Amino acid sequence: MSDATVAVAPADDERLAYRGVFQRLLVRPEIGAIIGAAAIWAFFWAVAREFGKAGGILPVLAVASTLGIMAVAVSLLMIGGEFDLSSGAATGTLGIVTILLVKDVGELGGAGLSLFIAIPLSLVVALSLGWFNGTMVERTGLPSFIVTLATFFMLRGFKLGFSKLIIDNITVGRIDEGHGYDFWVKIFGSTWVRNDHQFEARDAVYTVGILGGITVLVLAFYEFNYLRKERFNSAGLASFVAGLGGVIAGIAVMHGTDGTGGNLAAGVIIGLSGVIAVFGLAVWRYEPRSLGALSLPSDVVLTAGGGLALIAAGFLCAWQFDVNSQESVLDVASALRWPLVVVGGGLAGLIMFKKRGAQISGDTQQQIQGIVRISTVALGTAFGIYAFMFMTTEQGLRAILFAAFVMAGFVLMAMASTHAGRSSATAKSIVQLVTSVAVVALAFFIQGQSGTPKFRTEVFTILLVVAMIIAGWALTNACFTARRATDAHADQLGSRLAIGGLVAIFVGLGIKLLFTTDAEILAGIPRAQFRVEFLWFAGVTALATFVLGRTKFGSWIFAVGGNKDAARQIGVPAARTKTQLFMIVSVAAWLVGLLLAFRLNTLQSGTGNGLEFEYIIAAVVGGTFLTGGYGSAFGASIGAFIMAMSKQGIPAARWNSDWRFAFLGLILLAAVIANNFIRTKAEESR
């Protein structure tokens, strides 16, 4: 269930239609979370510059790590059909237990153990805690919600009580005084400060990684989508290599020059060579398609023309845009404003009453509905008039019209492209090419008209990249034959290439994040700190993904969560599996407790309380069902990343962080709706 995209069906069935790479990606439980994470990151990056830099992203990763380790473990438990409300309090408890075992002060003298004994001992405590939860749930048959809620309160009490009893303080501190700290801090608390590590060839490695990764990803995409040729075309390979060389030359030009002129020249070189490279790659390996007779149905031309006209209308609205102007749109005498609001609202209500009045004569429920509807319309209209007269500046109105027209225009273009696709692939490609030209026009328009330079350059670049992707997609679709059948070899190659490309990109990004250069130190970049938590987080996620997807125990987790009776009937040790899941959660809590103890050195007795719901939210955002039986550990780690971004992003964007939970709630709702939608789609496409 967890690696449907990678697997190759051993025996192909002729009744199975070929599913393209997008359809196959859509059935993954975590796809919604990945898209959401990218969107939220892009959003915060647009409003808070730090999110594009190591200094901004690393604190997010630090929060995501401890949250994510727990979210991954909790997602396993939830797939197994249970909850653990004590998981949050357990993290603090196990950290505090470890420190208390080390202390040798206070009324009772303390145990004064070495960390070499205290850490394994607290692991034993963790295992027994999980065993207790699991056994209680299994023996009593009570819902795990109730049982672990009880454990949660007990742990809260123990934390406070034992801390006070042993060291007479609710702040349990100084793990660094324990014997063996120097050894254990390497495992649970080591850090890596980027500014201490220079690597002059960093940018070259980064560029090669990113470029190579993108190229390989494009190739993987081709492999999934197009029919391979019997004999490869060496001219295509040559033009690919030439194009790649052009891209590198363009990047060199960009580094070597200053100012807008140089950037523009480099941009043109990079863009053109990129198209040549991508196209050459396709010519090299894939079967060309005969273009056939070109026909553009009149409705397609009409829709596309309408779309272009709307986009142009949008441009007209925002021509000579001045962001600083505060001029109001309507200059209505102030005495007339409120009467206008009342009259407008009343009029709207009256019209609604004329239309829907008949309904009000029905039964009580219909009467209520009718009244609610009429008053909504009346109040809405009144508010609209009010907002228009009191709040809208001329520039604001123009911005709204611009956005509305342009958006509607692109929606029409998309419709035209779908319509065209019904008649021929060539027609569709032509509409897509026109769309990409419109995107380029939009990019230049925004660059020329909009206010802040940061917004200008970033939106410009993004729009150009989007245009390039649309154009490339349109061109290759027009020129090459789409694959319509499963091809085990091509699928395998495609998925290997996709993984390889992603790895190359991540290595490039990692190198860029991990090291610094002379020039940057001279410019005084902020210190960026990597923590060992990140590795633990990655390791736990990878391990859990492997266990879920590839082991017996993983199958059993899905089975006990999906249908416990059936699982038991067929011979799965259901009670044992569930107990082990509770123990996995408490061991994760032990790990997180130690990571926190070594990071903070001192733990408050309230540490971790209330975080259990964040773990559950992260798991659900990542595609795990609240009802059990379905989900993904990788998704949960992405969910944790989303939570961490919202925690860190709101202060970074200098918003009032009081609103954080409202934002979290929205994300949760959106994630659940998206997951539900994806699940329906997935079941259809099966």
Partner 1 sequence: MSSLIELDNLGKFYGNIIALQGVTTEVHAGEVTCVLGDNGAGKSTFIKVLAGVHQHDEGEMRLEGEAMKFNSPREALDRGIAAVYQDLAMVPLMSVWRNFFLGAEPTKGAWPLRWVDKKEAKSVAKAEMAKMGIDIRDTEQPVGTLSGGERQSVAIARAVHFGAKVLILDEPTSALGVKQSGVVLKYTLAARDRGLGVIFITHNPHHAYPVGDRFMILNRGKSMGNFAKDELPRDELVRMMAGGAELDQLTHELESAGGSGGGA
Per-residue tokens: 293: 């007779």
For partner 1, give the closer residue by CB, 125 or 572.
Answer: 572
* Unique residue bearing structure tokens 């080390």: 102
Contact residues for 42 (Cβ-Cβ < 8 A; gap 6+): none
- Contact between 1 and partner 1 by CB under 8 A: the answer reads yes
Q: Which of 314, 344, 554, 593 binds partner 1 (CB under 8 A)?
A: 554
For partner 1, give the closer residue by CB, 11 or 662.
Answer: 11
Min separation Cβ 220 and partner 1, Å: 21
DSSP code for 630: -
For partner 1, give the closer residue by CB, 54 or 636.
Answer: 636
Min separation Cβ 557 and partner 1, Å: 10
Per-residue tokens: 373: 């509807």
* SS3 label, residue 288: strand
- Contact between 556 and partner 1 by CB under 8 A: the answer reads yes
Min separation Cβ 84 and partner 1, Å: 21
- Contact between 336 and partner 1 by CB under 8 A: the answer reads no
Q: Do residues 651 and 56 touch, judged by C-beta distance below 8 A? A: no
From the list 122-130, 234-242, 255-263, 550-558, the region that binds partner 1 by CB under 8 A is 550-558
Min separation Cβ 481 and partner 1, Å: 25
Residue from 208, 280, 286 nearest 508 by CA = 208
Rounded CA gap, 393 and 397, in Å?
6
Q: Which of 369, 563, 602, 604 binds partner 1 (CB under 8 A)?
A: 563
- Contact between 550 and partner 1 by CB under 8 A: the answer reads yes
- Contact between 32 and partner 1 by CB under 8 A: the answer reads no
Rounded CA gap, 622 and 540, in Å?
16
Rounded CA gap, 606 and 404, in Å?
49
- Contact between 10 and partner 1 by CB under 8 A: the answer reads yes
For partner 1, give the closer residue by CB, 455 or 546.
Answer: 546
From the list 215-223, 226-234, 327-335, 569-577, the region that binds partner 1 by CB under 8 A is 569-577
* Unique residue bearing structure tokens 């590839």: 550
Residue from 419, 416, 435 nearest 474 by CA = 435
Size of the site for partner 1 (CB under 8 A): 33
- Contact between 186 and partner 1 by CB under 8 A: the answer reads no
How many of the other CB atoms lie within 10 Å of CB of 659? 10
For partner 1, give the closer residue by CB, 22 or 383.
Answer: 22
- Contact between 683 and partner 1 by CB under 8 A: the answer reads yes
Rounded CA gap, 513 and 58, in Å?
9
From the list 163-171, 275-283, 297-305, 570-578, the region that binds partner 1 by CB under 8 A is 570-578
Q: Which of 339, 565, 654, 662 binds partner 1 (CB under 8 A)?
A: 565
Q: Which of residues 605-634 bind partner 1 (CB under 8 A)?
A: 629-630
Min separation Cβ 30 and partner 1, Å: 15
Contact residues for 191 (Cβ-Cβ < 8 A; gap 6+): 529, 530, 531, 532
Q: Which residues pair with 602 in a beta bridge?
A: 173
Q: Which residues pair with 328 in a beta bridge?
A: 393
- Contact between 676 and partner 1 by CB under 8 A: the answer reads no
For partner 1, give the closer residue by CB, 81 or 593.
Answer: 81
- Contact between 570 and partner 1 by CB under 8 A: the answer reads yes
Three-state secondary structure readout of 335-392: HHHHHHHHHHHHHHHHHHHHHHHHHHHCCHHHHHHHHHHHHHHHHHHHHHHHHHHHCC
- Contact between 635 and partner 1 by CB under 8 A: the answer reads no
- Contact between 559 and partner 1 by CB under 8 A: the answer reads yes
Rounded CA gap, 306 and 309, in Å?
5
Min separation Cβ 79 and partner 1, Å: 10
- Contact between 568 and partner 1 by CB under 8 A: the answer reads yes
- Contact between 26 and partner 1 by CB under 8 A: the answer reads no
Q: Which of 530, 558, 582, 590 binds partner 1 (CB under 8 A)?
A: 558
- Contact between 658 and partner 1 by CB under 8 A: the answer reads no
The helix or strand, by DSSP H or E, that contains position 46, with its residue range, turns out to be helix 31-47
Rounded CA gap, 73 and 71, in Å?
5
From the list 271-279, 533-541, 563-571, 652-660, the region that binds partner 1 by CB under 8 A is 563-571
From the list 206-214, 235-243, 385-393, 565-573, the region that binds partner 1 by CB under 8 A is 565-573
For partner 1, give the closer residue by CB, 449 or 486.
Answer: 486
- Contact between 562 and partner 1 by CB under 8 A: the answer reads yes
Q: Do residues 630 and 613 touch, judged by C-beta distance below 8 A? A: no
Rounded CA gap, 648 and 57, in Å?
9
For partner 1, give the closer residue by CB, 518 or 683.
Answer: 683
For partner 1, give the closer residue by CB, 314 or 629.
Answer: 629
Rounded CA gap, 120 and 98, in Å?
9
Q: Do residues 504 and 213 touch, judged by C-beta distance below 8 A? A: yes
- Contact between 230 and partner 1 by CB under 8 A: the answer reads no
- Contact between 552 and partner 1 by CB under 8 A: the answer reads yes
Q: Do residues 586 and 129 touch, judged by C-beta distance below 8 A? A: yes
The one-letter code for the residue type at 283 is V
Rounded CA gap, 541 and 544, in Å?
5
- Contact between 131 and partner 1 by CB under 8 A: the answer reads no
For partner 1, give the closer residue by CB, 7 or 332.
Answer: 7
From the list 50-58, 359-367, 559-567, 632-640, the region that binds partner 1 by CB under 8 A is 559-567
Min separation Cβ 14 and partner 1, Å: 9
Q: Which residues pair with 603 in a beta bridge?
A: 172
- Exposed/middle/buried for 262, CB within 10 Å: 0-12, 13-18, 19+? middle
- Contact between 207 and partner 1 by CB under 8 A: the answer reads no
The one-letter code for the residue type at 584 is I
Which x/- pattern, by CB under 8 A, does the window 530-549 give for partner 1?
A: ----------------x---
- Contact between 485 and partner 1 by CB under 8 A: the answer reads no
- Contact between 21 and partner 1 by CB under 8 A: the answer reads no
From the list 86-94, 101-109, 151-159, 555-563, the region that binds partner 1 by CB under 8 A is 555-563
- Contact between 572 and partner 1 by CB under 8 A: the answer reads yes
For partner 1, give the closer residue by CB, 9 or 342.
Answer: 9
Residue from 200, 216, 297 nearest 497 by CA = 216
Q: Do residues 206 and 514 touch, judged by C-beta distance below 8 A? A: no
b/e map 535-570, b = 16+ CB within 10 Å: ebbeebbeebbebbbeeeebbbbbbbbbbbeebeee
Rounded CA gap, 562 and 151, in Å?
25
Q: Which residues pair with 264 in a beta bridge?
A: none
For partner 1, give the closer residue by CB, 88 or 629.
Answer: 629
Interface ranges with partner 1 (CB under 8 A): 1, 4, 7-11, 13, 15-16, 546, 550-552, 554-556, 558-559, 562-563, 565-572, 629-630, 683, 686
